[in-house]
Chain A
Amino acid sequence: MSQIRNFSIIAHIDHGKSTLADRLIQHTILVPERQLREQMLDTMDIERERGITIKSNTITLPYLAADGQEYALNLIDTPGHVDFSYEVSRALASCEGVLLVVDASQGVQAQTVANLYLALEHDLAIIPVINKIDLPQADICGVKEQIQKELGLEADSAILCSAKEGIGITNILEAIVKRIPPPKGDFQAPLSALIFDAQYDTFRGAVVSCRVFDGKVQPGDLIRLMSHGGVYKVEEVGIFQLQRQPRSALTAGMVGYLIAGIKTVSDTRIGDTITSEADPIADPLPGFKEVKPVVFASLYPVSADDYQALADALEKYKLNDAALVYQKDASSALGQGFRCGFLGLLHLEIVQERLAREFGQSLIMTVPGVRYEFTLTDGQVLAVDNPQHYPEPTKIKKTAEPYIRASIIVPERFVGAVLKLCLERRGSEPHFSNPTPGRVEVRVDLPLSEVIIDFYDKLKSQTQGYGSFDYDLGDYRDSDLVKLDILINGDKVDALSMIVHRQRARQWAVRVCERLKEEIPRQQFRIAIQGAVGGKIIARETINAFRKDVTAKCYGGDITRKRKLLEKQKEGKARLKMIGQVSIPQSAFVAVLKTEVG
C-alpha cells in the first residue's frame, strides 16, 4: 500500500488540469497512437466540443520513481466549472492529496479558492502547481504572492510547470510520491469501499467506480450494498487505464471499478458503501453531502408515450451524474414529466444535451426558474421551485428570491453596456475595480432568476465577446413576486406559467405571446394568446385562421411533389401538443425559453 498514491487535479476552469493530466499520462504509460490527443480524459463528445471537463475521470499510472520504486498513481481529473464542483468533492473523498493548479497568467480565481477549501475540508496534502509558465503574460512572482497571501499556502512549495510544453512534469510526479501520503487502510479488515461514480452498461449492468478503504474484493466474492442491503456476486474488478483493465483484486487503498451484475439501476447509489456479505462492517462510510440544486425546470417527453422511456433514461443518467435531482411532475398541457433541479445553468444545458445524445430522448423543457420563498399570512414559510405550486395569492404576506454576487470583467469601453444590462436585470449596488489596467471588474448583486435565462448570451453580445461572468450564490432578499399565466383560447397552459417580479411581468408576457404567435401554426379557427397575472390580462396576440394553402393544379407529376411537401409538414405536426383545441408545436415551448426580456 505504501506504493499507492491517490490524488486529484483541481483548479479554476481552463487553468490546464486536463492538459496536465495528458502530460502525466504520457510520461508514465505508452499511449497508443490512435488515442493520443489533447485532453485525453475528456472522452465525452460534449466535453470535446466545448473544450471543458464535465465529469471527473480516473486513471491509474504506473510510475518508476527516483527512489527506484514502482508506484501506482491514481489520478482523478476534475472539472473546473462551478456547476460541477460536486464532481470535485466526490473525487476528493477518494484521495490523500491534490495538485492545485493555478494559471500563471490569470492567477488565483473563484474556483481556485473554492476547490482549495474542499481539499482542506478533506484534510488533503496540497501541492500548488503554477501552470502555463510558457505564456508571455505569465506572472510567476505575482501568482506566488497570491498563493502565499490569498491561499495561505507556502509559495515556495509551488511547482512551476507548462503542461503545454511538458515543463516540470517529473518534478510533479516526484512531489506526488514524496508529498502525498500513501493511503491508510487494512488488507485484513472487512471490506469497506465507497462508490463515487458509476456508469450503466447495457450488457453488464452498473460499472461502479470505487475507492477501497479496507479489506479486498475479487471476482467471486459476495458483496453487500449497505444503503439497501442488496447482495451481489462480483464478476470483475479492475482499474482504469483509458480503458477498463481487469485485475485479480482491488485491495485497501486502491481506486478502480467493480462489476457485479447490478442490473436494477436504482440499486446503485453514489456515496453508498460496499462491504462483504460474509463479514460486513457495522457502519457505512459517511458518503457525500446532499446536493442543493439552484435552478429548476420540468422535462417532458415530446410524445406522451415516451414517459416511461424518459423515466428509465433519467434513472440511468443519474447513475453517471449524481448531482441531478428530480421528481415526478405533471402538466395538463404536456402530460407526465419530471421536475428537475440543477446545480446551475451549464449543468441544466449539459443534462438536456446528454439525455438527447446518450439516451435519444426528445424533450420539452419548461422555462427554468429558481427556488422562491413565500411567507404566508399564518407565518408559514414555503419554498417553491415550481410555478404550479404557487400559493394562493391572498395568503401571501411576503416573497423572497435568491440573489447572486456576480463578477463581470470587461474592457473599460464596455462598462456602460454592462451596467445597463445589470440594471435591466434588477441589479443593485455595483462596485468597480481594475484588476489589470484597461479592464474593469464590476461586482454586482443580481437576482438569480434574472441570470438563468440568456444573461450570459446578452453579456457576450453586448461586450463583443469580451465579457467574462462568474458568480457566487448569495442570500435571499425580499421581492415582489407574481405568477404569470399564459392562456391559449382561454385555456391556461400550465407548462408555460412562471413566477416573475411584478415589474417584469408585462415585459415577459408580451414577449412570450409574441414568440408563441410566431411558432403556433394557423388553425381552423382564430387563436387568442394571452398573458395574465391574477386574472388580469396584460398582453395579447391573435393568430388568424387557416389561409389559402391549396395549389391551383394537381395532375400527374405534381402529385408526388405535393405529397413530399405535405409529408415534411406532417413530420413537424407529429410533434404537436394539444392545448384545449389548439395544437402547439414543440418549438413553441423552446422558443419561449429563448425569450429575451429587456
Chain B
Amino acid sequence: MKKLRTVVLLVGLFVTVLHLSSLAGDISMTEEMRKANIDWRRFSGEKISVNLSRIPHAESMLELIPEFEQLTGIDVDFQLLSDNEYWNKLTLDFASGAGNFDVVYTNNIMYNYIAAGYVEPLTAYLNDPKLTDLEWYDVDDFFELPWETCVWDGKTIGPNTYGIGDVYSIPFTSESTIMAYRKDIYAKYGMTLPNTWPELVDIAKKLTRDGVYGFMSRGSRKFSTLMFGGYSNGYFAYGASDFDKNLNAVFNSPEGVAFTELWADLVRGAAPPGYLSFTWEDARSSFMSGDRYAMTIEGDVFILSWENPELSEVVGKIGYALTPAGPAGHKNGQVSWSIGINSKSRHKNAAWLFIQWATSKPLLLRATAEFLTFPPTRRSVWLDPSVVEITGKWDNGNYRKVFTEMTEKKYTGILWTVSPEMIGLNEIWTEAVHKVILEQATAKKALDTLVERANEFMARYKK
C-alpha cells in the first residue's frame, strides 16, 4: 500500500511538472493578453459552451482553451462536431431558442441566421470600453472584405448589401477561390496561363490526355459547389448576376447562359467522370496525390495541404494564379469562417470575452504561425515575418502576390445576392448546372426554370 501511494504521488508530480512546463512556454501569450486594458476576470466563475465544427482554427482553439480558462476564470465546455452534425445541431438550437450554445461558429454566408435574429449583434460589445480594449484589439487590422461581409443590417437584400449595420461575427480565417495548376504538366505541353475563360477551357481540354485530366474541383450536389468550385468566379467575371437590384432572378441573361455553356463544356471535356460526386475533400486530396490533374479551381486554404511534404506528393510543383478576368474584371468567391454569440445565450458577456480572445492579434498570429490556420484575416498576421516565411515558399512567392492583389484590389467577396435564401438558392442553382452538364437540359432551358424557382424563393422579400 505504501509503495502504491509513492508511485501515485510520483506520477502525479511528473504530470504536474509536465503540465506546468507546457504552460511556461505560453506565459508570453498570456502576457500579451494582459496588455489589454480590460478586466479579463470580470466574469470568473461563469461557464460557456463553445461549439465548433472541424474547421482549421478549431484545433488550435482546442489546444489553447486552458490558457483562456486560466486568464479569465471562465469555465469552457468545448464541443467539436463533424460538419454535418454541427450544422444540424446548430439549426435546431437556434430554431428551438434553447440557447445551449453560447459561442457559435458560423460563416459569413449564413445571412439567414442574422435575418432570423439567431446571432447577437456585436457592435455594442466592441464599443463597450469595459468589455473591449478597442485600441489593443484593433478592428482596422482586419482585412476589409472578410470583416465587411460579416456586417449586415438583417434586412437589406440585394447585391453587395453587406457592410451596413451591425457586425454579427468575427472572421478568423478567410478562404478565396483561386486557380492552382501543375507547372510541370503545363510546361511539358507548352501551355501558359490563360488570359480568358475560353482559353482556360481550351487548355484544360488539351491537357486531358495520357491519364491526366485538365480540370477538377468539387462538383457534387451541394450549395458550396458553384460558389467555391470555380463556377462563380467565371460567372460573375462574365458580368452575369444572380439577381438584379429589384430582386428579379436574372440567371438566364445572355452572359449567364454563355458562361454556363462554357462551364458545362469544361466539365464534359476536361473533368474526370466522377466529377459530379466530388466533394471538397476529394478535390483537396486528389490534387496532391499523383499526376492525375493538371489544374484545379478551389479554395486557397488547401495550399496548406498541397505544400505540406507530409501530405502532398506535389510540393513545389504547383503554381497559383487568379482565375481569368472577364468583361466584369476578376471575381473570386470568398467565404470567411467566423465566430459569434447565440442571441439566446445566457452568458453573452463571457462569450464575448472568449471571442475577443480567440480573434485577438496574439492568438490569431499563433493560430496561423503555429497551427497553420490559414488564410489569415488580420493584416498583422499576414505581414508577420514567420508567416511571410512559410507562405513565401509557395510558388516562389507568387501566392503572396496573388493574395495581396485579390485582397487589396478587392476581387474577393460575397459575389451572390445577400439574402437569407443564399444557401438554398445556391443549391437549386447547382442542380440546374448539373442538368446542363449531364445534357438533361440546355443551358437556356435550365436557367429559365431556375429563374422561375428562384423568383419564388425571393417573392417574400420583394416590395
Q: Do A and B bind each other?
A: no
Residue numbers of A with Cβ under 8 A of B are: none
CB within 8 Å of A: which residues of B?
Answer: none
